[in-house]
Structure 1
Amino acid sequence: MTAAPELSPDQATRRTPEPELDPEGRGRVERYTVFAFVFVPLLALVAAVPFAWGWGLTLTDIVIGAVFYVVSGLGITVGFHRHFTHGSFKANRPLRIALAVAGSVAIQGSVIKWVADHRRHHKYADAEGDPHSPWRFGDDWRSVAKGLYYAHMAWLYLDEEKTSPKRFAPDLLKDDDIRRVDRLFGPIVLFSLLGPALIGGLATMSLWGAVTAFFWAGLVRVALLHHVTWSINSICHTIGEENFEVRDRSRNVWWLAIPSFGESWHNLHHADPTCARHGVLKGQIDISARVIWMFEKLGWASKVRWPNTQRLAAKRVGAES
């Protein structure tokens, strides 16, 4: 017998068997767990804003933080994810380098490491080998809570099986431009943290302006983007809607769509990983897809893999096979 060929990262998603539990009860527990895990800390941060406004937080800090959030966030979603990981479109050399730098500003790891980890996730999605599945410990509420924490952030320092770039990102290792950006990750991190402070200090011509910009547009902005991105790994594999047939537990979470620039339409993404648009149904806002569309119109991007109507119809939940 001949051995079956190894599947590509985008082809090899697998579904673990659904547990034999009451789905309504399980869903309620999962929602409560997610609420406690995500919203309680977020509410604490929101509550701190009125107390800091005017002396420890200014409009300048918000504007600087918003610009860095959008640039680095789109660097992750359009660059690291849809372009480098899945090849949803081709980018000319300046855009390709810019996307690699912008994604590095998010401080979520160097471009080659990020891509290797994500391709590994798709190959083993919610099965053994997935670096950050929230279901790795079981389906009861304690296991779900533990799994959410693990998938959200703990896997970054507890995952003993380090992803091999040679296996999962050999194409990037052969790219001189990307290897150069990868090596410059340290200086880019310093710019991401200290750049807002420099801009804030110059804009206000004060040391205090530099300090508040460093805190809000530097530290808080990085932390917020981290948690939004990590929520795709944890929340979007725990709760939400399944509009398309997948072999894992990826779901759509509408309330994360805007802060994640469309990444939380995660169910379609796992059903069709190379598709440049994740929010394909009516009302599903996908900012990243719109940015790719703009790049295409400007001539900076080509061979964009836009949704195919027939393929989407075949993958819809309840469609006849």
Structure 2
Amino acid sequence: MTTTAPVRSVLKNAPKPMLSHRASRAELVTIRAFLIIPFVALVAAVPLVWGWGITWADLTVAAVFYVVSALGITVGYHRYFTHGSFKANRPLRIALAIAGSFAAQGPVISWVADHRRHHAFSDREGDPHSPWLFGTSPAALAKGFWHAHMGWLFGRDRTNIDRFAPDLAADRALRVVDRLFPLWVSLSVLLPAVLGGVLTMSWWGALTGFLWAGLARVAFLHHVTWSVNSVCHMIGERPFASRDRSANFWPLAILSMGESWHNTHHADPTSARHGVLRGQIDISARLIWFFEKLGWARNVRWPTAQRLARLAQPATTRPEGA
């Protein structure tokens, strides 16, 4: 009896494993369907436009759903749920989780677990999507780019939620939103079809709405988000010191809603604003500011001049966690 309690204490406090399980065949089929079907739709849309054109109704509905789902990822999944850049009231918390699900990039809890793991091991062994895991030769970088951009999504390893997202897993409402992910994805592609049909009063409008504002919009947003994982760890400027190869890549700033100011983000992950330098557009930060003014968000972690000055120092001279 004298040895049992200490052993139990050690086991209880031991670090949880990084991975929880290997994806089943059914999980792999589902994931690949989410990745491949929208991309095929995007490719099929090219000859459709060439032969028949695209209407203003298609563009308007696609733009609305793109903005909602993209901000659901950037403000909701990323800055709020992953990094706690601000606190949100309960309705906003649920709305952000659903809006992020509309991007069809995975259920909120597993997405957050993957991203927290990325920051814990950024550009090192254990990072789920670093482009630098295979070496620096041209062939290795090509393989790394594919892996970081989307290849890692086809793997079977699954991040341990108990280690990286236990706070979200303990939230009953979020667990419900998480389990209903297939419903949110279905609505994300079917609602544009309904709106397209209503706006044009035609079945053809419903079809093009489904194709453009539904599937093609999802595929396009997928590649914008994945480019932050791949391009923004390979190309761009590094005004702040970080412990990885993250970089700011300005051409993606608007499409990514400010996420491509990636070096700034990795230098200060909990900051609500990523575009902190003059001329850096950050639409996500502006939305968080709007939520704060309405009283829906509080305790927002805005950057300060003193904080930015410290981040500009070499990483080796800063305290751990600064």
1:151 to 148, 153, 177: 148
2:260 to 261, 264, 269: 264
Corresponding residue of 1:304: 300
**Contact 1:72–1:106 (8 Å) recurs in 2:** yes
Post-superposition offset of 1:308 = 2.1
User: Percent identity between the aligned chains?
Assistant: 64
- Residues 1:311 and 1:255: Cα distance change in structure 2 (over 3 Å): same
Name whichever of 75-84 and 52-61 sits farther off. 52-61
2:101 to 95, 104, 111: 104
Cα distance in 1 between the residues matched to 2:87 and 2:116: 18
**Contact 1:197–1:214 (8 Å) recurs in 2:** yes
Q: TM-score, normalised by structure 2?
A: 0.83
1:135 to 132, 137, 148: 132
Corresponding residue of 1:79: 76
Corresponding residue of 1:93: 90
- Residues 1:320 and 1:113: Cα distance change in structure 2 (over 3 Å): closer
**CA deviations over 1:49-94 (Å, ceiling 9, x no partner):** 8x72683421100100000000000000000000000000000001
> Does 1:215 pair with 2:211?
yes
1:162 match: secondary structure: strand
Which runs of at least 4 in structure 1 moved beyond 6 Å after TM superposition?
A: none
- Residues 1:178 and 1:208: Cα distance change in structure 2 (over 3 Å): same
Corresponding residue of 1:64: 61
Post-superposition offset of 1:190 = 0.7
- Residues 1:276 and 1:221: Cα distance change in structure 2 (over 3 Å): same
> Does 1:293 pair with 2:301?
no
- Residues 1:245 and 1:319: Cα distance change in structure 2 (over 3 Å): closer
Corresponding residue of 2:119: 122
Name whichever of 133-142 and 66-75 sits farther off. 133-142
Post-superposition offset of 1:161 = 3.0
Corresponding residue of 2:35: none
Post-superposition offset of 1:293 = 0.2
**Contact 1:314–1:320 (8 Å) recurs in 2:** no
**Contact 1:242–1:317 (8 Å) recurs in 2:** no
AA of the residue aligned to 1:208: W
1:275 to 265, 268, 271: 271
Gaps of 5+ in 1: 10-40
- Residues 1:301 and 1:200: Cα distance change in structure 2 (over 3 Å): same
CA RMSD of the aligned region, Å? 2.3
Q: TM-score, normalised by structure 1?
A: 0.83
- Residues 1:176 and 1:319: Cα distance change in structure 2 (over 3 Å): closer
Cα distance in 2 between the residues matched to 1:140 and 1:303: 45
Corresponding residue of 2:240: 244
Cα distance in 2 between the residues matched to 1:224 and 1:313: 36
**CA deviations over 1:107-133 (Å, ceiling 9, x no partner):** 000000100000000000000000000
> Does 1:180 pair with 2:151?
no
Cα distance in 2 between the residues matched to 1:320 and 1:188: 44
> Does 1:227 pair with 2:231?
no
Cα distance in 1 between the residues matched to 2:157 and 2:105: 18
> Does 1:200 pair with 2:196?
yes
- Residues 1:320 and 1:144: Cα distance change in structure 2 (over 3 Å): closer
**Contact 1:137–1:147 (8 Å) recurs in 2:** yes
Gaps of 5+ in 2: 1-9, 19-38, 318-322
Cα distance in 2 between the residues matched to 1:136 and 1:126: 7
Corresponding residue of 1:20: none
Corresponding residue of 1:254: 250
**Contact 2:82–2:112 (8 Å) recurs in 1:** yes
**CA deviations over 1:135-164 (Å, ceiling 9, x no partner):** 111101111111101100010012x43101
